[in-house]
Amino acid sequence: MRIDLSGKTALVTGSTQGIGRAIAATLADAGARVAINGRSADTVASTIAELQAESAEREFIAAPGDVTDQEGADAVLTATGDIDVLVNNLGIFGATDALEITDEEWRRYFDVNVLAAVRLIRATLPGMKSRGWGRILNIASDSAVVIPAEMIHYGMSKTALLAVSRGFAKDAAGTGVTVNSVLAGPTHTGGVETFVYELVDTALPWEEAQREFMRLHRPQSLLQRLIEPEEIANMVAYLASPLASATTGAAVRVDGGYIDSIVP
C-alpha cells in the first residue's frame, strides 16, 4: 500500500510542534506540499528548516497566522493557496475543576477547538468541491466520547468537532470530497508531559510519571502507554490519500483501545 500525495497541497494548523508537526512531516514524505502553521513567523521558519534538514526532498510553505480570528485565517489561506488537504489540528487543553470553568474559558475552548476549524472548512470546502477532490480531517480526541472529569470543557469542544465533521461530510456528499475526524488517544507531546505532571508527582522520572498517569487517569487504555505523534500521523496520511476514498463522515479511532466500544 503506497500513499502518494504528489501534486497535492496540504495545510496543517498548529504544526510547529507535537501531533501537527508529525502530521506535516508524514504528509510531506508522501509527496504533498505542506503549509506549516503557527502564530509566530520565526517559529514557523525554524520548524521548516528543521523538517527540511531531516529530508531535503520535503516541500513546505510558511503560513504563519492565528487561525482563531478571521484576519489570521485569511493570512494563512493567502500564503497557502488552493488547498487539497485541510488538517484542523490546532487545539488547546488543560485540567480545571468542573465547577471552576468560567464562561470565558467555555467560550475560549469553543473558539479555538471548534470555530477555528469551521472557519477554515467554510473557506476551503467550496474550492475542493469545484475541483472534485479534497480531504478535510479534524483532529478530535478520545475525550469527545469519554468526557474527562478534569476537563469537561475540552471534551465538549471535541464532541462538537465530531458533529462538525459529520455535518460537513453531508454537505460534501457526492462531490469527491471527504470529511472525517480522527479520535486521537492519549498522545506523547510536550504539552501532554506538562499535563501529566499536573496530575502526578512532579518528582517522578518521565517514564514512571507516564505509567502512573496511565494507571490512575487512563486505566482503560489497552495500549497501556501514551501514543506517539507519528502513530496519529500515519492514520491522517491514509485518510488524506486517494486510498481512503470510501471513508467519509466517520470518526476514526487511533486511541490505543482507550474508548470502550466495539463500534466507533
What percentage of the chain carries pLDDT values higher than 90?
A: 92
pLDDT tens digit string along 151-188? 999 999 999 999 999 999 999 999 999 999 999 999 99
Residue 10, C-alpha cell as written in the block: 496540504
pLDDT digits (tens, 9 = 90+) for 21-41: 999 999 999 999 999 999 999
**What are 9's strand-pairing partners?**
33
pLDDT at residue 65 is higher than 80: yes
pTM: 0.94
- Catalytic, 109? Answer no
Half-sphere CA count of 167, side-chain side, radius 13 A: 10
Domains in the chain (CATH in brackets) are: 9-185+227-254 (3.40.50.720), 188-226 (no CATH)
pLDDT at 262: 86
**Among 109, 154, 238, 258, the one annotated catalytic:** 154
Q: Give the gyration radius of the chain's Cα atoms.
A: 18
Rounded to whole angstroms, the Cα distance separating 116 from 203 reads 37
Q: For the chain, what is the mean pLDDT?
A: 96
Grid coordinates representing 45? 521558519
